[in-house]
Structure 1
Amino acid sequence: MFFVGLCGLNCSGKTTVVDHFKDNKGFGSLSLSDMIREELGSRNEEISRNNLRRVGNELRENFGSAILAERVIEYVEKQTEKKNWVIDSIRHPSEAQVFIDSKYPFLFIKVDCPIEQRYKRALARKRGEEVSISFEEFKEKEDRELHSEKEFAQQLLKTFEKSNVTIVNEAGVEELQKKIDLAIEEFTKKLEN
């Protein structure tokens, strides 16, 4: 069993990568954001990007900056079917470090895409507050997620530095899948040696 972790900016293509692993590779999938969604549900709060960020920060502050990753590993270890897992929404360097330090092999992929393409995708998917977000607001939200110096906030730039592989997603789904397949092929060859 091994983990593939994903990080990347909003609308970079992480969900498409997850779907490829699930549908074509037989992986299980979890998102660190799933742990936050559960918490929002227990509080009867709306699931929005702002609430996900806020409650994720609260959980990290109250239980340690790696709590979401720790919960994911606990969940996976309780599963009876042993398979490989793709983990989405790693947004803090401590979360990445939990997987790096775990007993399981870990490939950490950063999915990247130009901001103009990501903005168009955000508008097209019509999710929550993104329905009518301006390009300037989109950039401002992204900047907060990238550059926070608060210990328990999202720290995407520092998280990106821990990735093993960067895949640029700007040429369509088929090209993205080829890049993912190549990264996995190289990773599994290293595991075999």
Structure 2
Amino acid sequence: MSRLLLSCLLIAATFAASAPAEAACPDSGSPSVEVCEYWNLLLMPALTSTVYLPGDAGGPWFGAGVEVALLTWADNGPGRGPSQGRVFLDIGGLGSAEDGTGAMFLFRAGASLSFEGNASRTWLIPYYGAAIGGLDEKNIDFAGFVEAQGGLHLWYTPQVVVDVEGGYLLPFSQVDRLSGPRAQLTAAVAWW
């Protein structure tokens, strides 16, 4: 039961810690004025690399997958609210070196928002988010989960988004067995 309490506290702390930062966009100089222009993209594809460390489910698990950001945006203007965000779907295939394990499939749908109200830059932008999803493997009955996540956009432009994130999966069943941290590196490129 202590994992459940820890998971709930982690989720609550993630959302309680968010506060806007107010940097100003320049009229000229560095960063460029283009950083402050609003942009959004639909259906931005990405490749992912994932590590999942469940409590007692034959891990660690390593793998790769694909992601589609249904909506990705940046607004570093004077308005209120997060300056970067995305709504995403992803699916990954993971494997473990432990004997007797099969391929694990993990899928998620979620959203992330930057902590800062006006980042005024395209690099090292911290964010938080949440996802809901499911995982399945031959030795594990299908389990749905929720996930609190935090991350860092290493690069965030209309053409390329690269981020690293960590999260904690809290499953709806088999809590002691399947709850645990997950980390992911995502690289997205806009082809249009």
TM-score band (shorter)?
under 0.3
Higher RCO (CA < 8 A, seq sep 6+):
1
More helix by share: 1
More strand by share: 2
What TM-score, normalized to structure 1?
A: 0.19
* Higher Cα radius of gyration: 2
